[in-house]
Amino acid sequence: MDRVIDLDEAATVIADRRATWEAAGLVVEPVTWRDGAAPWPQRLETDRSRTQDPDSVGVHLHNALGDGARRDAELLVVLYRGGWADIDYLVDAEDAGVLPSPALRSAQEFGALLDACVARVFGDGAEDPTRRTATPGTAGPVGSRGE
């Protein structure tokens, strides 16, 4: 898999948003890493030092229990070093699925995608108002899997 995005920079993008998400009432689970050099099946690790050659970084957000109309909302975003993301979400029983991802070329583009996904799933209150957001899938063509 090509190395398009520095996953350590992407993890910093996630960390930079954590306080805003938590202040908005979201639970931010530990970041997960997958080691591309590990034998199959590759385990997800929460400790970056346990991955020699990370090929993905992921984040899972959800509302705290009992948090109003969108109390069951969840978002799972996994960024691959090849420049694409898998985005799964659940707002409620009628609004769940996969969001499109454009081809990503930088951690900054990943940050804009995260902001757009969080706004889509949890509403604008969970988004950092100082960041510019775009609708998921509109920043460019849908990314190929690089396989």
DSSP H or E segment with residue 57: strand 54-63
Rounded to 5 degrees, what are φ and ψ at 69? -65, -30
Q: Which residues, listed in sequence order, are joined to residue 79 by a DSSP beta bridge?
A: 57, 85
Task: Give me the mean pLDDT over the 107-115 stretch.
Answer: 97
Helix 107-122 vs helix 7-23: angle between axes, to the nearest 10 degrees? 30
Comparing 1-5, 42-46, 132-136, the range with the smallest average pLDDT is: 132-136
Compute CA distances 7 → 14, 21, 35, 58, whole Å: 10, 20, 11, 10
pLDDT exceeds cutoff 80 at 85: yes
pLDDT exceeds cutoff 60 at 115: yes
127, 126, 113: which is closest to 10 by C-alpha?
113
